[in-house]
């Protein structure tokens, strides 16, 4: 048996969108179950996101700290952002987010992992990149707004982040997945064996 996720789509008898927001919406689908019954499934429709685990030469990860209103906490995270334009190249979006949130650029980019954040209630797909060869970005800093106005930026050793994840002190999805994937990749075939930055992403197809 091959342990691999596979595409599949059950019959939808009806669909409606009871809420449409600025970036996401809520959809209700009437889905035919295996026994022939029909059940309503509500879920958030999301454009998708990218995140960047930026690793410097001192084996530290660039992290940012900002307020997240839905969970009423100020979280440590890795730079991340929405795929605002349909079909947007995720690498370009990740490079933009690293510049905007930390004023940093990177020479080496690879795909660390792809995840669905909450597939039971949201179709958000996130591509987490590994970025190495960090340096200060050129030009002026991006003008922050909203929650990013008082964003903190730090560089934290990988081991310290792993400890915080396992201790239940760090909770951001992309940070947790990214850091643990980094450790797993090192223990496996190594970071240079990771997929190239422009590897196909069926969940959010894009133009290279």
CA distance 12 to 33: 10
> Which residues have CB under 8 Å from 6's CB, separation 6+?
none
Put simply, whether the predicted model's pTM sits higher than 0.85 gets the answer yes
CA distance 66 to 81: 13
Cβ–Cβ under 8 Å, residues 89 and 208: yes
Rounded to 5°, angle at Cα 142 from 136 and 147: 115
Q: What is the pLDDT of residues 85-113, one digit of tens each?
A: 878 899 999 999 999 999 999 999 999 99
Q: What is the mean predicted confidence (pLDDT) over 109-119?
A: 97
For residue 113, which phi and psi values (nearest 5 degrees)?
-170, 160
CA 57, 61, 65, 66 torsion-angle sign: positive
Q: What is the pLDDT of residues 20-69, one digit of tens each?
A: 998 999 999 999 999 999 999 999 999 999 999 999 999 999 999 999 99
Structure tokens at 201: 């992403």
Q: What is the pLDDT of residues 143-161, one digit of tens each?
A: 555 556 688 999 999 999 9
> Which residues have CB under 8 Å from 37's CB, separation 6+?
none
Strands 49-54 and 125-136: parallel
Which amino acids are annotated catalytic? 148
């Amino acid at each position: 048996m091959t342990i691999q996720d596979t595409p599949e789509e059950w019959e939808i008898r009806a669909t409606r969108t009871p809420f449409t927001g600025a970036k996401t919406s809520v959809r209700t689908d009437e889905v035919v179950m295996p026994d022939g019954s029909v059940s309503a499934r509500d879920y958030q429709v999301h454009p998708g996101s990218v995140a960047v685990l930026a690793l410097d030469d001192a084996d530290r990860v660039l992290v940012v700290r900002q307020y997240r209103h839905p969970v009423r906490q100020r979280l440590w995270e890795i730079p991340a952002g929405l795929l605002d334009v349909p079909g947007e190249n995720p690498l370009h979006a990740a490079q933009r987010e690293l510049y905007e949130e930390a004023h940093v650029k990177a020479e080496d980019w690879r795909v660390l992992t792809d995840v669905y954040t909450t597939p039971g209630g949201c179709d958000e797909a996130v591509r987490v990149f590994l970025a190495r060869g960090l340096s200060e970005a050129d030009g002026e800093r991006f003008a922050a707004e909203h929650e990013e106005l008082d964003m903190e930026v730090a560089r934290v050793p990988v081991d310290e982040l792993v400890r915080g994840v396992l201790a239940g002190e760090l909770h951001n999805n992309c940070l947790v997945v990214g850091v643990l994937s980094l450790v797993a990749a090192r223990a496996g075939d190594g970071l240079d064996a990771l997929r190239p930055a422009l590897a196909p992403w069926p969940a959010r197809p894009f133009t290279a």
